[in-house]
Amino acid sequence: MRIAFAALLSTAALFVTATAFAEIEVRKNGSSWAKIENDGTIRINGSSVGKFESDGTVRKNGSSIGKVESDGTIRSNGSSVGTIESGGTLRKNGSSIGTIESGGTIRKNGSSWGTASNCCGDHGGKRAVAAVIVFFSSDFFNL
């Protein structure tokens, strides 16, 4: 019985790990703009530009440029610049600037800005999308 239970737990852990890193595609103005691949690689318009690591670290050209912490705090060079709340509200310096909805719609100041697929039903997916928007899209967050 213990062996069967251990096998079941191992299978469940493998399933959760596999689904947690599903490729996410971000579309802007109807066109594919960014992808977060299963291994965390971030591609903008097809070119690799960085990585979103499992601990929330965001890298560009191999160097850490920021982090989206598990509680949603967004840090750039160690300083807090915003948050992504579990409900999807994206804040910059305390003020709401947009949302990442559970269905994948991305809104900036209430207007549709884009969509994200294969994500956003949980906080982890919203954190990954927020990382791309904050650190790689100058027309949304503008660090």
Q: What is the pLDDT of residues 16-30, one digit of tens each?
A: 333 345 799 999 989
Question: What spatial distance separates the first Cα and last Cα of the chain, rounded to whole Å?
Answer: 54
Domain boundaries, the chain: 23-136
**Residue among 41, 42, 44, 23 nearest 33 (CA):** 44
Q: What is the pTM for the complete model shown? A: 0.84
pLDDT tens figures, 5-60? 434 334 334 333 333 457 999 999 899 999 999 999 999 999 999 999 999 999 99
Q: How many residues does the chain have?
A: 143
Whole-angstrom Cα distance, residue 69 to residue 75?
Answer: 8
Please tell me whether residue 141 adopts helix, strand or coil conformation: coil
